[in-house]
Structure 1
Amino acid sequence: MRSCMFGLQICRRKVRRIQVEITIVSIRLDASDGRVANRITPKKKENNSAMDQQKHRTEGERTGGSAGTSPEWWKQAVIYQIYPRSFMDSNGDGIGDLNGIRSKLGYLQRLGVDLLWLSPVYDSPNDDNGYDIRDYRAIHEEFGTMEEMEALIEEVHARGMRLVMDLVVNHTSDEHRWFREAAASRESPSREYYFWEREKPNNWPSFFGGDAWSRVEGRVDARVDSEGRSQGGRVDADAGKGSNGGEGANSEEGDYYLHLFSKKQPDLNWENPNVRQEVYDIMRFWLDKGVDGFRMDVIPLISKRTDWPDADLRDFNRMVEETYANGPRVHEFLQEMRREVLDHYDAVAIGEGIGVTHRTAPLYVNRSRKELDFLFHFDHTFIDHGPGGRFDPVPYDLQEFKRVFFRWDRALAEEGWNAIYLDNHDCARLVSRFGNDGEHWRESATLFAMLLMTMRGTPAVYQGTELGMTNAPFERFEDFRDVEVMNAVEGVRKRIDSQGRGKDGGRVGGRVGGIDGGSDGEMDSEMDVAGVITDASAENGKKLHRELASLLKALQVAARDHARTPMQWSASEGAGFTTGSPWILINPNKNRIHAEAQLEDPDSVFHFYRRMIGIRREYAELVTGSMEWMDGGHTQLFWYRRSQDRSTCRGTDRSVGGGGNVFDVVLNMSDEEVLLPESLRNRDDELLIGNVAGLGSVRGRRVDERDRGDVGLRDDRKGQSDGRGQRGATSTNSDWLQPWEARLFVTSESF
């Protein structure tokens, strides 16, 4: 929703309760930025039936912000992902929290995003930073309270935005009540909530290293408190039989359970209808609190191949697609979820499409399937992975990068929908991974803003990407916090150590990333690999040294923790994120890259993102128009065309000129100058926006009239020469694109 400082725009939201419609509109003036926002306060009718409560937010109830009021409002939305632990700390404990998020909603409103995706804030032991959930109906104390969560939801809506939560239901924490009960006794009703086998049935590896099958170590105390939360812990195997033990109790020689991720993330058994009903009840709990939908974590994995076939381990990504994802009942389960829950709410269902290809995606998102609304696919996030996965990085191929986007667009063009994203909490930083975070940092950061906002699909911006945040300088294993890293280090140590002692009887020793490796006797000499000390006199110690050095090099490129360093709000010691000691290191380039400076600089990455969001919102063609690949396989350019014909633009809610324009997006994704395609030369009068040297105007006016006069961009070409003669200092009609230059041309057509 947009509103001027002194203007009022009142949107009415219909609230259904049984057969009574109540519309309550109140106006609040936000003290932080002086903008008026619509607060909609739905009231519940007393003594509603359970079914009536499920249906209380039906289609058309909430209007919200710029995403609009149509049944498919999420197509017009712009997503912003918040990783709460690293977003904003309000109490100085070094960990981001809910009140910190609330304090920055004005910033997000100014950026122009209107659908906030909140990574998990549920009660969790934090083995995998919240993706191991102990209690789905409680907020982790590090993040705040349920009352603060409810206040966040209310204020998000008051500002005309929406909020979706992460739904993590492929697995739980091993500290969840269900698993404690299941592990304590084979006779427990919760036993069938998970997968158990007397012996390992196959060779499946975990995503985080090691086997995907583990035993419970010792017996488990399944006691719970008055609210049903687990109170017990593991009981030493020699301590005797507990009250829940008996003949069925697990011991260290007990059954194996399945965990595709960490040992503390046992997989749920969706074959059990009771599990599915538990999940649906959890969804209703949060939807009734006002959340606007879910991003569903690794949702293609919920249906398992319970004949337990062995996996082909030669290609990890292919193994995920063929063995872990797209199980025999996954579509049945998602269709049931739609019928049982989602059809009764005005809520969006977004899938994390791990293991889903452009060929199988329509089965998940085509409208007639009645499963998901759209999904985040992985093809471009795996594009620089070698056969060994994330820690086997290879250079990415621009041609394949382009093909990925067009394959997916064609696959979903008729009936489905796509998400457009380039990074998230599981990836390295965008500008470091696919761009140039050195000499051409600003140009490549803004180029990706244009790419995100001009593709067909719902764009998603990960926190800090709108500032051009980069990979962090992790130098030692101790700098990392990700369980995936710790398991990778431990896996290397165990593999080398299992090969036996060296020729002189030495053993791999020392301390690896916080993992004790042990040591036999005194070390004759030491080698330090960024915090990893090994016995250099042992042959295996030398091999460990080499493999850990190689792993560290890969981590410095591809580790997930790069995306998890704190938001850089200012150049202060704590980057404006915290007054305490941050839970993970702050990138030292916060002195140069931070929000405080970019908000004041009209030429900043932040403001380019804001302008591109505004342009996307203004032109219907950039949302639902067709896409045509134009560059013919150019090795440095990415050029595509967006347009909308008569049949598709009819009935479209479009503003200035919407539905009658053709857009050419041309991106120089290289460190070299590139000659424009001939048909794009001498089109200065058709240039809508660009990311270098005076290309910020929109045919002489601003997309957002409040920004009139701030359109000039930094003169990065001043005094440059291409070796063919001098170039104009601020020329906007050059036939040559500078490194990482992006231009958006528009031609108006009359229907």
Structure 2
Amino acid sequence: MNKTWWKESVVYQIYPISFLDTNGDGMGDLRGITAKLDYLKDLGVDVIWMCPINQSPNHDNGYDISDYQAIMKEFGMMDDFDQLLQEAHARGLKIMMDLVLNHTSDEHPWFIESRASKDNPKRDFYIWRQGKNGGPPNNWESYFSGSVWEYDAATDEYYLHLYSKHQPDLNWENPNVVNCMHEMVEWWLKKGVDGFRFDAIAHIAKAVGLPSGENPNSLPTVRAYELFSNLDKVHTLLNNLYKEVLFHYDIMTVGETSGIGPEQALSYVGETRGELNMVFQFEHMQLDAVSGGSGKWNVRPWNLLELKKVISSWQTVLHEQGWNANYWCNHDQPRPVSRFGDDQKYRVESAKMLATFIHMLEGTPYIYQGEEIGMTNIAFQSVDDYRDVETLNFYKDQMSEGVPEETIMQVIRKKSRDNARTPMQWSNNKEAGFTQGKPWIKVNSNYNVINVEDALQDPDSILHYYKNLIALRKEHEVIVYGKYELLLSEDREIYVYTRTLEDACLLVILNFFGKEPELTLPQHLNLDSKELLISNYPVNGEDDLCQTIRLCPYESRVYMLKA
């Protein structure tokens, strides 16, 4: 078992445009992050991951980069970044960048040249093809709906974009593209950044010949994942990046890799692979969708047995072979307390329980901004209040198919990416203390009762509970490196697991619902010697843990036992 700092760290994700605005333009900025470094240090986190801060026209909130080596003007200047990096390092905090290597903005100088003419030296930096039979080159569907192909009249060809038409895919078959990407990554490393989250990294290689996907429903386009996701060539490209650049720095790397299970993940994160430290898996994020990732908007109830199966598989397969990245939420996912908990009657209890679950698993825990105070989903009444391109495209498509507007809005309120993108709620002052101006997207109206300022004053708050969880992880090595074992696998309400390292055994008990179930623990557990480390309800006396106990709604307990 290789021990290293990034396994022992806790990561805090910042969505810069929504974190803190210091100049009154309604958008968060780098100086806002610098202003809150003491808050993050006090929380106990080790690494700050920022969503893209590179220059961008913001068609997809920064994930359409027009200059990799410049700062988005709304966020500040390079001097502001340098100060942030210096101030973070002075506090013992590390900075992880978010880089998009699969595509650029259509306003990037490379693409402007590429589309200028068929014989331009930059033409092959992107993926261009002739149309077929009066239409696109193949039937692939974009993640943001519609074809992945955009017709360009100037040169009478189509360019490929897996996401928005403003995000053309780079051609990683071109060695000049590879060299440029390597040089750019190393440029940031030489500035002193401590790692990268690589966006959409599973898609940098496409199937040879770009064939159409199987189309059983005779639809005009098809989401052909296997033709542009997790191909063998991706590993070749990542291994080269590692050997030529990443290997030479003591950094942390995590890749966004949808559509894989834990066995496939080892191809990315195996200890001897030489690619990435960890990946974000999406299997547990698809438990409330009818048909996995492609059915995001087809919402269904999730169940605990499926969650147990997914998490247990990742915990077991990767143990001592690779490393997990554990999360409930990010800039693309709804708020966990609204999705997997109860954001009304038991908001505090369920938020604490969900936090306990993630922070006691093997792997690096990720906290998304506002998660530590129990921020909830937004419920805008009008689609005009939403800003996310994916959400707006879904609304437009559904309206064109005649779906009732309120039906569409109900789904959007559950699954829109804007649920996680509303401004950070710092106080109960105007606009939640986020800005002195008009915020780029509306603040959640519940900021009067859910905000950092109030949480800091309440010793029983979700925020203080997160501090305690993080402190426990730094105190007990078993929380970082212990072996996971699932107990009571068929229980539909209670999730119980242990983590064992040498003679230390961590027992984690979680009630995922609002009832009061009775729990009977397995006989093999040694309950004679026990210490309650943390719980989200008051626990009575020495006899709090018996073979059979009754749990409160959304209760969580963590005990230290003798192995």
Deviations 1:525-570 (A, max 9, x none): xxxxxxxxxxxxxxxxxxx2x3433221110101000000000000
Q: What's 1:623 paired with?
A: 480
Q: CA RMSD in A?
A: 2.1
In 2, Cα distance between the equivalents of 1:628 and 1:469? 31
Match for residue 453 of structure 2 among 582, 591, 596: 596
Deviations 1:199-234 (A, max 9, x none): 122111100011110112x54xxxxxxxxxxxxxxx
Higher RCO (CA-CA < 8 Å; seq separation 6+): 2
In 1, Cα distance between the equivalents of 2:448 and 2:59? 31
Q: What's 1:180 paired with?
A: 112
Per the TM alignment, residue 356 of structure 1 is displaced from its structure 2 partner at its CA by 2.1
Q: What's 2:421 paired with?
A: 564
In 2, Cα distance between the equivalents of 1:594 and 1:587? 11
Per the TM alignment, residue 323 of structure 1 is displaced from its structure 2 partner at its CA by 2.7
Q: Kindly report which structure 2 residues correspond to 1:40-439, keeping only aligned pairs within 5 A, or say none.
A: 72-199=4-131, 200-216=136-152, 219=154, 250=155, 254-312=156-214, 319=223, 321-387=225-291, 388-439=294-345
In 2, Cα distance between the equivalents of 1:413 and 1:322? 27
Q: What's 1:453 paired with?
A: 359
Q: What's 2:533 paired with?
A: 688
Report the 3-state secondary structure (helix = DSSP H, G, I; strand = E; otherwise coil) of the residue aligned with 1:391.
coil
In 1, Cα distance between the equivalents of 2:138 and 2:354? 42
Report the 3-state secondary structure (helix = DSSP H, G, I; strand = E; otherwise coil) of the residue aligned with 2:490.
coil
Q: Which amino acid aligns with 2:509?
A: V
Q: Which is worse superposed, 351-360 or 577-586?
A: 351-360
Confirm or deny: 8 A CA contact 1:117 1:165 kept in the other structure: yes
In 1, Cα distance between the equivalents of 2:422 and 2:529? 41
CA change 1:80–1:429 in 2 (3 A) is same
In 2, Cα distance between the equivalents of 1:609 and 1:215? 50
Per the TM alignment, residue 681 of structure 1 is displaced from its structure 2 partner at its CA by 11
Per the TM alignment, residue 355 of structure 1 is displaced from its structure 2 partner at its CA by 2.1
How many residues are aligned here?
A: 550
Looking at secondary structure, tell me which structure has more helix per residue. Answer: 2
Confirm or deny: 8 A CA contact 2:527 2:561 kept in the other structure: no
Report the 3-state secondary structure (helix = DSSP H, G, I; strand = E; otherwise coil) of the residue aligned with 2:499.
strand
Q: Which amino acid aligns with 1:415?
A: Q
Confirm or deny: 8 A CA contact 2:210 2:227 kept in the other structure: no
Deviations 1:274-323 (A, max 9, x none): 1011111110111111101100001011011132222246799x956423
Match for residue 375 of structure 2 among 439, 462, 469: 469
Match for residue 582 of structure 1 among 439, 454, 475: 439
Runs (5+) with no aligned partner, structure 2: none
Report the 3-state secondary structure (helix = DSSP H, G, I; strand = E; otherwise coil) of the residue aligned with 2:464.
helix
Per the TM alignment, residue 453 of structure 1 is displaced from its structure 2 partner at its CA by 1.0
Confirm or deny: 8 A CA contact 2:141 2:224 kept in the other structure: no
Q: Which amino acid aligns with 1:164?
A: M
Q: What's 2:349 paired with?
A: 443
Confirm or deny: 8 A CA contact 1:210 1:491 kept in the other structure: no
In 1, Cα distance between the equivalents of 2:43 and 2:312? 28
Match for residue 552 of structure 1 among 409, 418, 428: 409
Q: Which amino acid aligns with 1:490?
A: K
Per the TM alignment, residue 632 of structure 1 is displaced from its structure 2 partner at its CA by 2.6
How does the TM-score come out when normalised to structure 1? 0.71
Per the TM alignment, residue 675 of structure 1 is displaced from its structure 2 partner at its CA by 1.0
Per the TM alignment, residue 410 of structure 1 is displaced from its structure 2 partner at its CA by 1.8
Confirm or deny: 8 A CA contact 1:321 1:356 kept in the other structure: no
In 2, Cα distance between the equivalents of 1:480 and 1:352? 25
Report the 3-state secondary structure (helix = DSSP H, G, I; strand = E; otherwise coil) of the residue aligned with 1:744.
strand
Q: Which amino acid aligns with 1:338?
A: Y
Deviations 1:401-450 (A, max 9, x none): 11111111122113211101111000000100111111111110000111
Confirm or deny: 8 A CA contact 1:684 1:732 kept in the other structure: no
Confirm or deny: 8 A CA contact 1:575 1:590 kept in the other structure: yes
Q: Which amino acid aligns with 1:454?
A: M
Q: Does 1:666 align with 2:509?
A: yes
Q: Does 1:677 align with 2:491?
A: no
Q: Which amino acid aligns with 2:163?
A: F
Q: Which amino acid aligns with 2:169?
A: D
In 1, Cα distance between the equivalents of 2:100 and 2:434? 27
In 2, Cα distance between the equivalents of 1:138 and 1:211? 31
Confirm or deny: 8 A CA contact 1:312 1:319 kept in the other structure: no
Report the 3-state secondary structure (helix = DSSP H, G, I; strand = E; otherwise coil) of the residue aligned with 2:297.
strand
Q: Which amino acid aligns with 2:433?
A: G
Confirm or deny: 8 A CA contact 1:300 1:355 kept in the other structure: no
In 1, Cα distance between the equivalents of 2:527 and 2:406? 52
In 2, Cα distance between the equivalents of 1:449 and 1:140? 33
In 2, Cα distance between the equivalents of 1:368 and 1:684? 39
Deviations 1:24-43 (A, max 9, x none): xxxxxxxxxxxxxxxxxxxx
Report the 3-state secondary structure (helix = DSSP H, G, I; strand = E; otherwise coil) of the residue aligned with 1:184.
coil
Confirm or deny: 8 A CA contact 1:88 1:578 kept in the other structure: yes
% identical aligned pairs = 43
In 2, Cα distance between the equivalents of 1:408 and 1:361? 9
CA change 1:479–1:732 in 2 (3 A) is farther
Q: Which amino acid aligns with 1:125?
A: P
Report the 3-state secondary structure (helix = DSSP H, G, I; strand = E; otherwise coil) of the residue aligned with 1:444.
helix
In 2, Cα distance between the equivalents of 1:477 and 1:354? 28
Q: Which amino acid aligns with 1:561?
A: D
Report the 3-state secondary structure (helix = DSSP H, G, I; strand = E; otherwise coil) of the residue aligned with 1:667.
strand
In 2, Cα distance between the equivalents of 1:314 and 1:378? 25
In 2, Cα distance between the equivalents of 1:674 and 1:442? 19
Per the TM alignment, residue 383 of structure 1 is displaced from its structure 2 partner at its CA by 1.5
Match for residue 549 of structure 2 among 731, 735, 741: 735
Confirm or deny: 8 A CA contact 1:77 1:114 kept in the other structure: yes
CA change 1:694–1:607 in 2 (3 A) is farther
In 1, Cα distance between the equivalents of 2:173 and 2:389? 28
Q: What's 1:532 paired with?
A: none
Confirm or deny: 8 A CA contact 2:327 2:358 kept in the other structure: yes
Per the TM alignment, residue 671 of structure 1 is displaced from its structure 2 partner at its CA by 1.1
CA change 1:682–1:350 in 2 (3 A) is closer
Per the TM alignment, residue 631 of structure 1 is displaced from its structure 2 partner at its CA by 1.5
- Between structure 1 and structure 2, the one with the greater Rg is 1
Q: Which amino acid aligns with 2:441?
A: I
Report the 3-state secondary structure (helix = DSSP H, G, I; strand = E; otherwise coil) of the residue aligned with 1:136.
strand
Per the TM alignment, residue 685 of structure 1 is displaced from its structure 2 partner at its CA by 5.1
In 2, Cα distance between the equivalents of 1:169 and 1:163? 19
In 1, Cα distance between the equivalents of 2:545 and 2:426? 33
Confirm or deny: 8 A CA contact 1:195 1:258 kept in the other structure: yes
Confirm or deny: 8 A CA contact 1:693 1:732 kept in the other structure: no
Q: What's 1:24 paired with?
A: none
Confirm or deny: 8 A CA contact 2:26 2:440 kept in the other structure: yes
In 2, Cα distance between the equivalents of 1:268 and 1:619? 44
Q: Which amino acid aligns with 1:739?
A: P
